[in-house]
Chains A and B, each alone.
Chain A
């Protein structure tokens, strides 16, 4: 504590608090210069899209065709268990996107347990009616 006639010492605790506050504020201000342009870019990209168009972003990022997946979606119903038969190099992308986009239909663990089979650029068995949905993809509903 300071006493009369004695030189006051600097308020070290306050200096420490302000030094921390200054460094944290510097970090915050520098961060805004990085984060705000990136967030703004998101806003500028998506704000002009219709909500329906925004939902297609994942699909388009994979290079799929919108019409194919729309028709595919219409062919499947709640309660369906579907199997995606595909041997293309991007088969995991097809299956993963189907798992997300075709809900409430659910992916079956194997061909035997499916009541619907999606043949993705693969020939269906002969003699069965496989409905073409475009992009060389067809949907075969099996009798239950």
Chain B
């Protein structure tokens, strides 16, 4: 089996698994709703199977293709049972703007206009509709072109960048070739020093699935597996918001992420920074939907994505903590649910933390030791590093040649949401942004490494989760702000039952 066919086959199985998981989690309560939210399925399957695979790896085993088949069958059976037990909601929530046709409804909602004004309104609505369709087509065009070019490039690219083959490629190959996460590799820092074996094993375990199915080892399989996670993330963001955010806002937002140079160029290295950012972004997005929709299943889905992010890279813990703390602060009356969700996330990551402690992996290899945070005199004595780190991190996030205008749009959308949207949503965006940036800065502050070279080696990568997390919130912030503005100035709020 060629690498591409192996990756496609595994993604198909993971998508099936994700459909089952969506039903089990209650995100879809009827077959129709499952179909409508099927965009979430590939990433949900990756997160669910990834958490299982990473936990098996912690026990010195691995998730095989047959195991994935069994997991998929069991998850789908659970999902089917839940679907048959759960009655579908009486009416699914209406889409806020139909298919780029809100302006027509908006004008039609004015019954007292005289005929001449109605005629002019109809002319305006046609123009508005054309503009909407133009924006949607332009966005889809950008997405299609960039994805096609990326697929053509990543289809032939091998692992070349150092950490790509030395760390991520080696770990995935070891799990596939050795038949398990052999402790001689994964718990032996004396042999595999400098290869960050203290990083959790979700991503190598996911990459190992197509490597098991493919003929021989081809490093391109790892890159195609990364590409699949990136594309699944984009699809998941669309699936998260398609029935809540009008296409004229959602699709340009996705196009901006797709075309941000860092997104596909980083995926093409095989590094874990975009995969972890994708889980962070979808976790943030699902949590925001829970905040505005009050449907617990979104919080459950957010917890699954955040558990996956915690088991992808050590920084995942920081971003998950930033989100849960922010959510806890803004979710008045629902804080118990947030605390339980955070606890579940902690329990899911506990086996890996125990593995690190048992094999004494942390102290030997990692770039920083969070316990040194408690050495306050030492940390305070290094505060001069904080300003420098913040400047460098923000410069990276704002670099238009890396991320376009994503972060500027995110900040503008947050300000807009403070003015017109529910305050809790704007506070969530602010809290997540400030806390994740503060957390990243703290790492540079407590690290024993020389701060300039440490930042130079990874600031452009660790910032991706911060940027994509805010980018995931942006369309919802704008949509809610636009609705709030419409209410404020007395315009009809189009096509929504809320």
Docked pose: A104 CA to B156 CA in angstroms: 24
Docked pose: A4 CA to B117 CA in angstroms: 8
B interface bracket (residues with beta carbon within 8 Å of A): 35 or more
Q: Is A54 an interface residue (CB 8 A)?
A: yes
Find out whether the CB atom of B405 lies under 8 angstroms from the CB atom of A14. no
The residue in chain B whose Cβ has the minimal distance to the Cβ of A20 is B478
Q: Is B191 an interface residue (CB 8 A)?
A: yes
| Residues of A5-48 contacting chain B, CB below 8 A | 9, 11-14, 16-18, 20-32, 34-36, 38-40, 42-43, 46-47
Most buried by B among A11, A12, A16, A28: A28
Docked pose: A96 CA to B138 CA in angstroms: 46
Docked pose: A81 CA to B182 CA in angstroms: 12
B-side interface mostly = helix
Docked pose: A35 CA to B154 CA in angstroms: 13
Given A16-B416, A99-B192, A28-B153 contact (CB < 8 Å)? no
| Residues of A90-108 contacting chain B, CB below 8 A | 92, 96-97, 99-100, 103-104, 106-108
| Per-residue A-contact encoding for B211-237, CB less than 8 Å = 1, 0 else | 000000111100000000000000000
Q: Is B259 an interface residue (CB 8 A)?
A: yes
A-side interface mostly = helix
Q: Is B490 an interface residue (CB 8 A)?
A: yes
Q: Is B400 an interface residue (CB 8 A)?
A: yes
Residues of A within 8 Å of B485, CB to CB, are: 12-13, 16
Residues of A within 8 Å of B249, CB to CB, are: 17, 20-21
Given A43-B153, A109-B188, A13-B165 contact (CB < 8 Å)? no
Q: Is B166 an interface residue (CB 8 A)?
A: yes
Find out whether the CB atom of A58 lies under 8 angstroms from the CB atom of B486. no
Interface stretch of the complex, out of B139-147, B298-306, B347-355, B429-437:
B139-147
Nearest-Cβ distance from residue A102 to partner chain B, whole angstroms: 10
Find out whether the CB atom of A38 lies under 8 angstroms from the CB atom of B261. yes
Find out whether the CB atom of A58 lies under 8 angstroms from the CB atom of B165. yes
Find out whether the CB atom of A13 lies under 8 angstroms from the CB atom of B491. yes
Find out whether the CB atom of B103 lies under 8 angstroms from the CB atom of A14. yes
Q: Which of A21, A36, A42 contacts B135 (CB 8 A)?
A: A21
Docked pose: A106 CA to B174 CA in angstroms: 9
A interface bracket (residues with beta carbon within 8 Å of B): 35 or more
Find out whether the CB atom of B195 lies under 8 angstroms from the CB atom of A96. yes
Find out whether the CB atom of B489 lies under 8 angstroms from the CB atom of A29. no
Find out whether the CB atom of B482 lies under 8 angstroms from the CB atom of A16. yes
Find out whether the CB atom of B404 lies under 8 angstroms from the CB atom of A30. yes
Residues of B within 8 Å of A35, CB to CB, are: 146, 149-150, 259-261, 263-265
Docked pose: A56 CA to B264 CA in angstroms: 23
Q: Is B157 an interface residue (CB 8 A)?
A: yes
Docked pose: A55 CA to B111 CA in angstroms: 68
Nearest-Cβ distance from residue B34 to partner chain A, whole angstroms: 29
Find out whether the CB atom of A92 lies under 8 angstroms from the CB atom of B248. no
Find out whether the CB atom of B157 lies under 8 angstroms from the CB atom of A31. no
Find out whether the CB atom of B194 lies under 8 angstroms from the CB atom of A96. yes
Residues of B within 8 Å of A13, CB to CB, are: 482-483, 485-486, 489, 491
Find out whether the CB atom of A110 lies under 8 angstroms from the CB atom of B190. yes
Residues of A within 8 Å of B190, CB to CB, are: 109-110
Docked pose: A64 CA to B166 CA in angstroms: 15
Docked pose: A48 CA to B404 CA in angstroms: 31
The residue in chain A whose Cβ has the minimal distance to the Cβ of B176 is A103
Find out whether the CB atom of B177 lies under 8 angstroms from the CB atom of A104. yes
Find out whether the CB atom of A2 lies under 8 angstroms from the CB atom of B252. no
Find out whether the CB atom of A28 lies under 8 angstroms from the CB atom of B259. yes
Q: Which of A16, A42, A96 contacts B268 (CB 8 A)?
A: A42
Docked pose: A21 CA to B259 CA in angstroms: 15
Q: Is A63 an interface residue (CB 8 A)?
A: no
Q: Is B381 an interface residue (CB 8 A)?
A: no
| Residues of B257-271 contacting chain A, CB below 8 A | 258-261, 263-265, 268
Interface residues, chain A, CB within 8 Å of chain B?
A: 1-4, 9, 11-14, 16-18, 20-32, 34-36, 38-40, 42-43, 46-47, 49, 51, 54-55, 57-58, 61, 78, 81, 92, 96-97, 99-100, 103-104, 106-110
Extra A-B contacts (19), CB below 8 Å, given A55-B158, A58-B219: A2-B117, A3-B112, A4-B112, A4-B117, A11-B103, A14-B103, A18-B248, A23-B412, A24-B253, A25-B255, A27-B400, A30-B400, A34-B401, A35-B150, A38-B261, A55-B219, A58-B165, A103-B217, A104-B174
* 18 pairs of residues in contact across A and B, judged by CB atoms under 8 Å: A1-B110, A22-B252, A24-B409, A25-B142, A31-B404, A32-B142, A35-B261, A43-B153, A49-B156, A51-B218, A54-B157, A57-B158, A100-B166, A100-B169, A104-B174, A104-B177, A107-B185, A109-B191
